[in-house]
């Protein structure tokens, strides 16, 4: 007998939701290999500075779909970190393109494993450069998903309806049977509202807290939304 659930499909954002910059080690290795000048006192200082910069400038990338435009925006993030040392900024940029700094949040693999074990299909809808596919493979989570929709590859980005329409067609379920999980109020909450998909927003440490009708602190909370009768 199939388990009774509120949603038949769960869709995820990636950056800031499933994948982040959680480990100090790669940032420490960068600092060890570059020459001054730079203002960072430690790997943790560099990592947190990058998170703060991303949080402050994330609004600039809303609606970007061209891969070159996305890449150029990311390059300016590293130039902000190293304004007096462009070789260091470009070194970090090259490493970033190969997912050198990316890591899974501690709750990512547990929730993906749990939902898969309970027969809940999952997909990805993400505003990202084309290298996202490589990132998901590198982090060994690509095979958890029925589909991966990347804005730069389909030519439309969140919060616009078109990217969610593509996702709904691939999922093959009505909007009210889908739960979307993301970390950006504009892209993820406003975007899904426009197409009738329920969404929850996850707040991650090190970033400016956001507000939304439903906010969670751990991806593991998703289980109670999908299976509400379990309490």
Q: What distance in Å separates the CA atoms of residue 193 and residue 199, rounded to the nearest whole number? A: 8
Categorize the per-residue pLDDT at 1 as very low, low, confident or very high, splitting at 50, 70 and 90: very low
What percent of the chain has pLDDT above 70?
97
Tens of pLDDT along 157-197?
999 999 999 999 999 999 999 999 999 888 999 889 989 99
Tokens encoding 24: 């100090």
User: Tokens 């998703």 label which residue?
Assistant: 222
Judging by beta carbons within 10 Å of its beta carbon (0-12, 13-18, 19+), is residue 170 exposed, middle or buried? middle
What Rg, from alpha-carbon coordinates, does the chain have? 18
| 61: confidence class by pLDDT, cuts 50, 70, 90 | confident
Kindly tell me the burial class for residue 63, based on how many C-beta atoms sit within 10 Å of its own C-beta (0-12, 13-18, 19 or more): middle
Helix extents (H) in the chain: 25-33, 43-57, 67-81, 86-97, 108-117, 132-138, 151-154, 161-171, 191-193, 222-226
Pairing of β 147-150 and β 215-216? unpaired
Provide CB contacts within 8 A for 70, sequence distance 6+: 61, 64, 128, 129, 152
Residue pLDDT, tens place only, 93-132: 999 989 999 999 999 999 999 999 999 999 999 998 888 9
In whole angstroms, how far apart are CA 205 and each of 181, 183, 208? Answer: 16, 11, 8
Confidence band for 3, pLDDT divided at 50, 70 and 90:
low
User: Would the pLDDT of 4 be above 50?
Assistant: yes
pLDDT category of residue 64 using cuts at 50, 70 and 90: confident
Helix (H, G, I), strand (E, B) or coil at 59: helix
pLDDT band, residue 36 (cuts 50/70/90): very high
Query: Where along the chain do its domains lie?
Result: 9-20+103-230, 25-97
Query: Half-sphere exposure of residue 111, counting CA atoms within 13 Å on the CB side?
Result: 22
| pLDDT in the model for residue 230 | 80
Q: pLDDT, tens digit, for every residue of 194-215?
A: 899 999 999 887 666 677 889 9
Q: What is the pLDDT of residue 206?
A: 66
Q: Is 126 exposed, middle or buried (0-12, 13-18, 19+ CB in 10 A)?
A: buried
**What CA–CA distance (Å, rounded) separates 17 from 1?**
32
User: What fold characterizes domain 9-20+103-230?
Assistant: Rossmann fold (3.40.50)
């Amino acid at each position: 007998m199939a388990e009774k659930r509120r949603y038949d499909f769960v869709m995820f954002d990636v950056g800031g939701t499933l994948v982040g910059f959680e480990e100090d080690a790669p940032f420490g290795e960068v600092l060890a290999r570059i020459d001054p000048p730079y203002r960072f006192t430690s790997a943790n200082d560099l990592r947190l500075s990058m998170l703060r910069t991303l949080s402050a400038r994330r609004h600039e990338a809303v609606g970007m779909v061209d891969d070159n435009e996305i890449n150029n925006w990311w390059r300016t993030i590293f130039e902000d970190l190293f304004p007096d040392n462009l070789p260091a900024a470009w070194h970090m940029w090259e490493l970033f393109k190969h997912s050198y700094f990316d890591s899974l949040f501690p709750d990512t693999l547990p929730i993906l494993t749990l939902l898969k074990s309970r027969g809940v299909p999952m997909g990805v809808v993400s505003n990202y450069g084309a290298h996202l596919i490589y990132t998901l493979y590198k982090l060994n989570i690509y095979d958890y998903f029925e589909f991966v929709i990347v804005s730069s590859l389909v030519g439309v980005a969140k919060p616009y309806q078109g990217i969610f329409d593509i996702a709904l067609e691939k999922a093959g379920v009505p909007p009210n049977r889908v739960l979307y999980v993301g970390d950006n109020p504009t892209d993820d909450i406003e975007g899904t509202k426009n197409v009738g998909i329920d969404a929850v927003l996850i707040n991650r440490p090190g970033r400016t807290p956001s507000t939304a009708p439903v906010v969670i602190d751990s991806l593991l909370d998703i289980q109670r939304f999908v299976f509400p009768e379990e309490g």
